[in-house]
Amino acid sequence: MNKTLLLCLAILAVGALASTAPELDEGVYVLTDANFNDFVSSKPFVLVEFYAPWCGHCKSLAPEYIKAAKELIEEGVNAVVAKVDATVEKSTAEKFEI
């Protein structure tokens, strides 16, 4: 293989890995169908909220959930919090009967 082809393959591989890495939203990891399993299996403790953006209860929980996430980070606790938009990430939501 020539060097240009190898470089293109390396760039594509890095791009694929980056696209499945979870976004961090105010200390809360945003999980998707593409990254849920890998993320959860890579952490010893994960609290996952399945939510709907229109849900009043979910909206009420959000500030407290963010507060908990930040406290875990600040205290160096070996646990993280994450969230899954069940209206978008339907495969993962269905897997857990949400």
Q: Which of 8, 15, 27, 58 is catalytic?
A: 58
Considering the candidates 8, 15, 27, 57, report the single residue annotated as catalytic: 57
Instruction: Tell me how many domains the chain contains.
Output: 1
Considering the chain, what percentage of its residues have pLDDT values greater than 90?
80
Whether 16 maps to a domain, the answer reads no
Residue 3 has what pLDDT? 53
Could you report the per-residue pLDDT of 24-46, keeping only the tens digit for each?
Answer: 999 999 999 999 999 999 999 99
Taking the CA atoms of 73, 74, 79 and 80 in sequence, report the sign of the dihedral they define: negative
Catalytic residue status for 58: yes
In a domain, 14, yes or no: no
- Residue 88 placed within a domain: yes
Q: Does residue 4 lie within any of the structural domains?
A: no
pLDDT for 20: 84
Residue 76 annotated to the active site: no
Domain-embedded: residue 17: no
Query: Do the beta carbons of residue 87 and residue 52 sit within 8 Å?
Result: yes
| Cα distance between residue 25 and residue 71, in whole Å | 14
Domain that holds residue 51: 22-95
| Whether 8 is catalytic | no
- At 15, the pLDDT band (50, 70, 90 cuts) reads very low
Euclidean distance between CA atoms 13 and 29, whole angstroms: 22
Residue 53 lies inside a defined structural domain of this protein: yes
Asked whether residue 2 is domain-assigned, the answer is no
What integer best gives the mean pLDDT of the chain? 87
pTM of the predicted protein model = 0.79
